[in-house]
Every structure is written in C-alpha cells, then in structure tokens.
Amino acid sequence: MSANKKGDDARVRLVQAAIATIADRGWPGATTRAIAEAADANLALVNYYFGSKQTLLLTALETSMRELADAFNLDGLAHDPARVLEACLRLVEQQPPDARLRVLFEGTMQARHDESIRRVTANMLAGYRTSLASALAQGHPPSPRHRGRAAALVAILDGLLLHKLVDPELDPALARESLQCLASRELD
C-alpha cells in the first residue's frame, strides 16, 4: 500500500471514529485520545491531518451532514415534497437512531458556543429548507409562503428527531398524516 493510500485511510478512519465517538460520548466527550484509539491510529495523526481536535470534530460534523443529505437524495427528490418528507420520516423512525443524526444534534447544541460550527449547521439547515421550498413550489406561482412552509416542516422534523433521540419509544408515525397534510396543502 502506498504512503498516500495509508494516509488517506488513516484520515478516513479518524473521521469515522470521530463520528462514532461524538455519537456515543457527546461533543465534550469526544477526546482526541478516544478518537485515535477508536481509529486504531497514533494520537499525533489528529494534529497531522487536521491541525486540531476542533477541526477534526468539524470535519466529522460536515461529513455526517453530507452523508445525511446524500441518504435523503435531496437533489433527486427536490421536485416531490411527499417523497422528501417520506425519506425524512424513515430516517426519524430508524432504530437505533443513526450515528450521523446524533452527531448533527450534538453539533447543533455545540453551535451556540462555536461560530464555525454555527455557520456550518446554519448553512446545512438553509440548504434543507431551500430544497424543500423548491419542492413545495413545483407547479405553483412563486410565493414566500413556500419558504415559510419549508421552514416549518424542517423545524417539525428536527423536533421529531430530537424527541426520538430523547424518547426512543416515540412513534414518529403519529405525526405522519399531519406532516403530509402540511406538505401537500395548497397555498392560497
């Protein structure tokens, strides 16, 4: 194996270990030592590849968000709000909750204390709202109401995700019909 391949592999292992560690221990519990051990990597590699623990954790957050967006296939579903909503609800209903979702919520809570995390998280949420607003607007005249409805739907889904993380017994299917009505309701 070439040195570049080994380096890329170690970097990927560190990011995946950071995702797992944040999901398991929370943002404050994700120490460089715990991450390096989980990645089966030398502790010095964290600074070598990322420069700091904070940059590694931010990379783990960005990777989680990108992978979640890919899992939703937002681009492929962008013109069908019902399918976007269904993809989101399937993710909420997963047992146990996806590690990437736990990282997203850990990052969201940490965003209050760190401007770089706040920017990354805000941009991701804005992208989700924009994609959903575009889907809701299909076949309708332009209206700021599409953005408002998208913001409400994303906030409700975020709330469901948070509640599911705290209360694994919650059945998100209870909200399915109401969310589908909100997504498909004609705007005046």
- CATH assignment of 54-184, among 3.40.190.10, 3.30.70.260, 1.20.140.10, 1.10.357.10: 1.10.357.10
Contacting residues for 62 by C-beta, under 8 A, at least 6 apart? 120
| Of residues 121, 185, 119, the one with CA closest to residue 152 | 185
Lowest average pLDDT, out of 11-20, 25-34, 49-58, 65-74, goes to 65-74
| Token pair recorded at residue 158 | 């975020």
Residue-range domain boundaries for the chain: 54-184
Find the helix or strand (DSSP H, E) in which 158 lies: helix 144-166
Question: Are the CB atoms for 62 and 103 separated by under 8 Å?
Answer: no
Question: Are the CB atoms for 20 and 101 separated by under 8 Å?
Answer: no
pLDDT band at 188 (very low <50, low <70, confident <90, very high): very low
pLDDT band at 107 (very low <50, low <70, confident <90, very high): very high
Predicted TM-score of the model (pTM): 0.80
Question: Are the CB atoms for 158 and 111 separated by under 8 Å?
Answer: no
Query: For residue 18, which amino acid is it?
Result: A
pLDDT band at 75 (very low <50, low <70, confident <90, very high): low
pLDDT band at 117 (very low <50, low <70, confident <90, very high): very high
Question: Which single residue is written with the structure tokens 């979702």?
Answer: 101
Encode 88-101 in three state secondary structure.
Answer: HHHHHHCCCCCHHH
| Token pair recorded at residue 77 | 């579903």
Q: In this model, does residue 133 exceed pLDDT 60?
A: yes
Residue 74 is predicted with a pLDDT of 58
Residue 16 is predicted with a pLDDT of 98
| d(C-alpha 85, C-alpha 158), whole Å | 12
User: How buried is residue 80: exposed, middle or buried, by Cβ count under 10 Å (0-12/13-18/19+)?
Assistant: middle
Question: Are the CB atoms for 75 and 82 separated by under 8 Å?
Answer: no
Mean pLDDT of 11-21: 98
- DSSP letters for 1-27: --HHHHHHHHHHHHHHHHHHHHHHH-T
